[in-house]
């Protein structure tokens, strides 16, 4: 699909943001030096896109998308001028549906599966040479009301199995990977192994996790099966406890021969929280020893507590993108980075059901590499620069 939209950030805009980063003491000259070497207008498409920078490193880069907003027909006949559609075509070589493949979206009624949006996404990705992740097959949220009303200890096992067989079966051979189980660990619930108190745990027991993975493997043997969770990035006591419980789960899976290929580190980060560090690095290396890949599945950087306007927020977000991705992309078993949306306007943090009100000044969050107008923010360059420094050789991962 041809790229007809030229989106760009000016060197002046970026220098101002980089200078703001310096003023909060968080930059060692890197971003400022980068800014100074940029041309007056910084192109973001074609060879300058995130996907083009990722490819030589054997990396996949992408974002969460709402398939209903994509102009798939226009993309198919090369006539689309829709900025959201062009942005995803230009920047991503992997896509994930933000909501369309969850139970709540796929299962309007017990006997009805609605694959309309998932199929649209697969078609769009095919047009653009992009891979697709499935999100997700088993979660405690976004389940249809009828499920909660009808599931019980007698039928829950069958309900989960049939859902995974049908959904993973429908997309069989078309997906790069599936988030098979999402967010099953929550140590504060006080249950054995740090398991989260969920409907599935209540009705099936701890066995539900293994059941989900084994069923998914049978339904789609080609998809990389992933366990996906959040708040396991930082070295705070709470996140260390959760990360340890996730690692213990992965070890139990491996010991029992449960088919699992990757762990998703969601990476919903906070611009004012301490940076991720050694604990996450060790977690990624432990996963590597177990033969597991680590996917950055849902990265964004909230600016709830950043004092100042757009420039201060952009500076803080850019630093987190740069430092976090430099840390994780140094590890050879991290082949994928996805952000949770590509632009601020469509971020869950900007939606009515998100945490929009958490900024004391009432202004919107700026958590992603493109802003409300789909213009690149300094995070775009920070992200691209981190991708460029990834220690991976071209074509290094034959499974990509």
Least distance between ligand G3I and beta carbon 16 (Å): 30
Query: How far is the C-alpha of 260 from the C-alpha of 248, rounded, in Å?
Result: 14
Interface with ligand G3I, residue 98, by CB under 6 A? yes
Nearest residue to 223 via CA among 209, 213, 211, 233: 213
- To the query of whether residue 385 is one of the catalytic residues in this protein, the response is no
Interface with ligand G3I, residue 114, by CB under 6 A? no
Nearest residue to 294 via CA among 325, 333, 257, 247: 333
Name the token pair of 360: 């004391």
Least distance between ligand G3I and beta carbon 352 (Å): 6
Pick between residue 3 and residue 66 the one whose CB is nearest to ligand G3I: 66
User: Which of the 8 DSSP states describes residue 391?
Assistant: -
C-beta neighbour count of 221 within 10 angstroms: 12
Query: How far is the C-alpha of 337 from the C-alpha of 264, rounded, in Å?
Result: 10
Interface with ligand G3I, residue 141, by CB under 6 A? yes
Query: How far is the C-alpha of 278 from the C-alpha of 299, rounded, in Å?
Result: 19
Interface with ligand G3I, residue 142, by CB under 6 A? yes
Instruction: Mark residues 257-296: x for contact with ligand G3I by CB under 6 A, - for none.
Output: ---------x------------------------------
Residue in 98, 233, 298, 365 annotated catalytic: 298
Query: How far is the C-alpha of 264 from the C-alpha of 43, rounded, in Å?
Result: 31
Please identify which residue in 192, 353, 357, 398 interacts with ligand G3I, judged by CB under 6 A.
Answer: 353
Pick between residue 171 and residue 230 the one whose CB is nearest to ligand G3I: 230
**Residue 321 CA: distances (Å) to CA of 93, 198, 386, 394:** 19, 32, 8, 23
Pick between residue 57 and residue 359 the one whose CB is nearest to ligand G3I: 359
DSSP collapsed to 3 states, 33-101: HHHHHCCCEEECCHHHCHHHHHHHHCCEEEEEECHHHCCHHHHHHCCCCCHHHHHHHHHCCEEEECCCC
With contacts defined by CB under 6 A, name the span among 37-45, 47-55, 219-227, 349-357 that binds ligand G3I.
Answer: 349-357
Least distance between ligand G3I and beta carbon 388 (Å): 28
Point out the residue whose Cβ comes nearest to ligand G3I.
Answer: 348
Please identify which residue in 352, 361, 394, 399 interacts with ligand G3I, judged by CB under 6 A.
Answer: 352
Phi first, then psi, for residue 273 (nearest 5°) are: -85, 160
- To the query of whether residue 331 is one of the catalytic residues in this protein, the response is no
Q: Which helix (H) or strand (E) holds 134?
A: strand 131-138
With contacts defined by CB under 6 A, name the span among 74-82, 116-124, 197-205, 344-352 that binds ligand G3I.
Answer: 344-352
Please identify which residue in 293, 298, 323, 371 interacts with ligand G3I, judged by CB under 6 A.
Answer: 298
With contacts defined by CB under 6 A, name the span among 23-31, 214-222, 306-314, 346-354 that binds ligand G3I.
Answer: 346-354
Interface with ligand G3I, residue 343, by CB under 6 A? no
Interface with ligand G3I, residue 231, by CB under 6 A? no
Instruction: Mark residues 362-381: x for contact with ligand G3I by CB under 6 A, - for none.
Output: --------------------
Pick between residue 19 and residue 68 the one whose CB is nearest to ligand G3I: 68
**What residue spans of the chain are helical by DSSP H?**
11-23, 30-37, 50-54, 72-77, 83-91, 103-106, 116-127, 145-150, 156-170, 199-204, 207-219, 237-255, 278-289, 310-329, 378-388
With contacts defined by CB under 6 A, name the span among 9-17, 96-104, 269-277, 369-377 that binds ligand G3I.
Answer: 96-104
Residues lying near ligand G3I in the complex (CB under 6 A)? 98-99, 102, 141-142, 182, 230, 266, 298, 348, 351-353
Catalytic residues: 183, 298
């Amino acid at each position: 699909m041809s790229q007809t939209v030229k989106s760009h950030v000016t060197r002046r805009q970026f220098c101002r943001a980089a200078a703001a980063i310096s003023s909060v003491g968080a930059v060692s000259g890197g971003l400022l030096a980068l800014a100074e070497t940029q041309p007056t207008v910084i192109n973001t498409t074609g060879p300058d896109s995130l996907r083009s920078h990722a490819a030589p490193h054997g990396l996949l880069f992408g974002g969460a998308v709402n398939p209903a907003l994509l102009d798939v027909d226009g993309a198919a006949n090369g006539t689309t001028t829709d900025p959201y559609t062009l942005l995803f075509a230009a920047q991503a070589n992997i896509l994930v549906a933000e909501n369309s493949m969850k139970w709540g979206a796929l299962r309007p009624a017990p006997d009805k599966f609605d694959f309309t949006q998932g199929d649209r996404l697969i078609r769009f990705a095919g047009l653009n040479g992009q891979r697709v992740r499935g999100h997700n097959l088993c979660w405690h949220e976004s389940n249809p009301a009828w499920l909660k009303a009808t599931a019980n200890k007698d039928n829950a096992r069958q309900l989960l199995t049939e859902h995974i067989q049908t959904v993973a079966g429908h997309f069989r051979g078309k997906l790069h990977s599936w988030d098979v189980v999402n967010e099953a660990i929550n140590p504060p619930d006080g249950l054995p192994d740090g398991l989260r108190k969920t409907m599935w745990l209540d009705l099936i027991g701890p066995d539900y996790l293994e059941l989900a993975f084994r069923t998914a493997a049978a339904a789609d043997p080609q998809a990389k099966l992933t366990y996906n969770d959040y708040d396991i990035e930082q070295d705070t006591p709470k996140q260390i406890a959760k990360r340890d419980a996730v690692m213990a789960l992965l070890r139990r899976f491996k010991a029992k021969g449960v088919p699992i290929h990757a762990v998703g580190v969601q990476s919903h980060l906070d611009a004012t929280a301490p940076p991720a560090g050694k604990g996450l690095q060790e977690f990624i290396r432990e996963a590597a020893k177990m033969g597991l890949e680590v996917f950055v599945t849902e990265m964004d950087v909230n600016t709830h507590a950043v004092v100042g306007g757009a420039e201060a927020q952009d500076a803080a977000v850019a630093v987190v993108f740069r430092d976090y991705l430099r840390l994780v992309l140094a590890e050879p078993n991290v082949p994928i980075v996805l952000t949770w949306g590509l632009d601020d306007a469509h971020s869950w943090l900007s939606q009515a059901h998100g945490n929009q009100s958490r900024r004391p000044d009432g202004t919107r969050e700026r958590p992603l590499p493109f802003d409300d107008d789909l213009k690149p923010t300094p995070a775009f360059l920070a992200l691209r620069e981190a991708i460029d420094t990834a220690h991976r050789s071209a074509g290094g991962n034959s499974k990509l």
